[in-house]
Amino acid sequence: MKLLLIVDAFRGGAGNVMQILAGQLRRRGHRVTMLLLNGAIDLPKHDLTGVQVIEYPLVQNEPAKTPIGRLLRYKRAVKRLIREVSPDAVLSFLTEYNCLTAWNIGGKLPLVISERNNPFQEKAKPQWVFLRKHYYQKADKLVVQCKEFADFYPPAVQKKICVIPNPILTPKVTAGEQHEYEVRLVSMGRLHPQKNYPWMIEAVCRVHAQNPTCRLTIYGSGEEEARLRALIEERGAGEFITLAGKTDTPHAVLAESDVYLMTSDYEGFPNALSEAMAVGLPSVSRICHEGLRDLVEEGVNGYLVSPDDMDGFVRRVLTLAADPELSKEMGDRAKSVAARYGVSGITDRFEDALREAVELHVKHRKERT
C-alpha cells in the first residue's frame, strides 16, 4: 500500500512512535510518506531509510489574521498535501491533525486516526473540540492507547475504536545492581505542567530527608524549566535534584539509574515509564488512569499510588532505596514489557487497522454500485 502518515514533528512521543511505524511499514514493503505539520524540529531518532518525509509547518506557511481564517487555510493546505501524495490509506496522530485530516478526507479515503493522550484530561481548544465532535465519526478507525479511553467518545465513534498501546523498543543495555553509595532516582519527559514535576520535587525532598543517599535526575526540556529551577533552589534541593536537560541516549541513562519516578497528572501510554521498565528499573508512579495497571503490576514490577497520596509515594521510594534485592527483583520482572509490547506486534496491529480501513472502503464502494 501507499501510506501517508501524518504527525506534528519528529520530536515528542507521537513523533517517536510514528517514526518507528514508518520505518517498520516501509521495511514490510509499503510505500511510506511522513507529513510533519509542525516541521521536523529535531532530527529523526529512528531509521527512515526509504521513507519520504515532507515538512510543512502550518503555522509558518499558512498565516492568517483571524482564528477562523487560519483554520480554513490549514484545512486547504492539508487537503492539497494529501492530494499530492495520493495515498491508498492515511494514518494520523494527534487531535488537531486528526481533525484536519478527517475534515478533508473522512469517507473519501481509508483513514485511521489515533489519539495520543488521555482524552478525559487533555484540554483541546474549542475549535478542535467542535471538529472532533463532527468529524471523528468519519474516520474508519480510531486508535486509543488504553481501553478506558474509549468511554470518552459517543457511540458512533466507539464502534470504530481499537486499542493499540505504544511499541516498546528492546534496549541494548539493562540496569545492573543498585549503586552502593547512592540511590539514583530518575524521571524523563517534557518539562510541562502535565508531568507535575513540582509534586515530584516535593516528594523527593521528603525522601531525601529520611534517606540522604537518594538523588533525583530529571531529563527533559520545556516551558517549566525556569519554574522548576526556582523551586529546587527555594527548597534547598540543588545538591540532590538535578535538571539534566534532554538526552539522546535514554536507555543508557536509565540503565545507570536505580528507580524510575512518574508523577504525571495525566498520560496516554507513558513512553518514558515503559522504556525504564524495559531497561529493568522498578518504578513508583501516581496512577493517573487505570490503564497504567496494564504496565505496572502493583508490588510485582513497580508501585502505583493514588494521585493525592504523597506519603504513600515517599514510603514506596524509601522501600526500594533501602532494599536493593527487592529493587533488583522488581526491575527484572519489569523487563517483560519489552516483549509484551514489542515493535513487530504493535506494527502488526496498526497494519491490520489500515488494511481493515481499506477493506471497508472497497465494501462501501461495491454497495454503492
* CATH code linked to domain 2-166+342-368: 3.40.50.2000
Q: Is 183-340 the same fold as 2-166+342-368?
A: yes
Is the per-residue pLDDT at 369 higher than 70?
no
What pLDDT score was predicted for residue 19?
97
Average pLDDT, the chain: 94
At 54-106, the pLDDT tens digits run 999 999 999 988 989 999 999 999 999 999 999 999 999 999 999 999 999 98
How does pLDDT run across 212-245, given as a tens digit for each residue? 999 999 999 999 999 999 999 999 999 999 999 9
Instruction: pLDDT band for 291, please (50, 70, 90 cuts).
Output: confident
H-state helical runs in the chain:
12-27, 58-61, 67-85, 95-105, 126-135, 155-158, 197-210, 225-234, 250-255, 271-279, 310-322, 324-334, 337-340, 343-368
What one-character DSSP code corresponds to residue 194? G
CB 42 within 8 A of CB 61: no
By CB atoms closer than 10 A (0-12, 13-18, 19+), residue 349 is: middle
Asked if 113 contacts 92 with a C-beta cutoff of 8 angstroms, the reply is yes
What is the tens place of the pLDDT at every residue in 16-43? 999 999 999 999 999 999 999 999 888 9
Helix (H, G, I), strand (E, B) or coil at 329: helix
Q: What pLDDT score does 368 carry?
A: 66
Evaluate if residue 107 carries a pLDDT over 90.
no
Share above pLDDT 70 across residues of the chain, in percent, rounded to a whole number: 99
Distance (Å, whole) CA 91 – CA 166: 15
Percent of the chain clearing pLDDT 90 (strictly above): 83
161-176 pLDDT, tens digit per residue, is 999 999 999 898 888 7
The answer for 347, left when phi > 0, alpha when psi is -120 to 50, beta otherwise, is alpha
Judge contact between 45 and 134, C-beta under 8 A. Answer: no
The predicted structure's pLDDT at residue 365: 72
Average pLDDT over residues 99-116: 94
- One of 3.40.50.720, 2.60.40.10, 3.40.50.10490, 3.40.50.2000 is the CATH number of 183-340, namely 3.40.50.2000
Tell me the per-residue pLDDT of 185-213, one tens digit each, with 9 for 90 and over: 999 999 999 999 999 999 999 999 999 99
* Domain-wise residue ranges, the chain: 2-166+342-368, 183-340
Cell reading at 232: 529546587
Task: Please state whether the predicted TM-score (pTM) of the whole model is above 0.85.
Answer: yes
3-state secondary structure of 288: coil
What does DSSP assign to residue 287?
-
Tell whether the model's pLDDT for residue 305 goes beyond 90.
Answer: yes
pLDDT of 292 above 70: yes
**Residue 80: what pLDDT?**
97
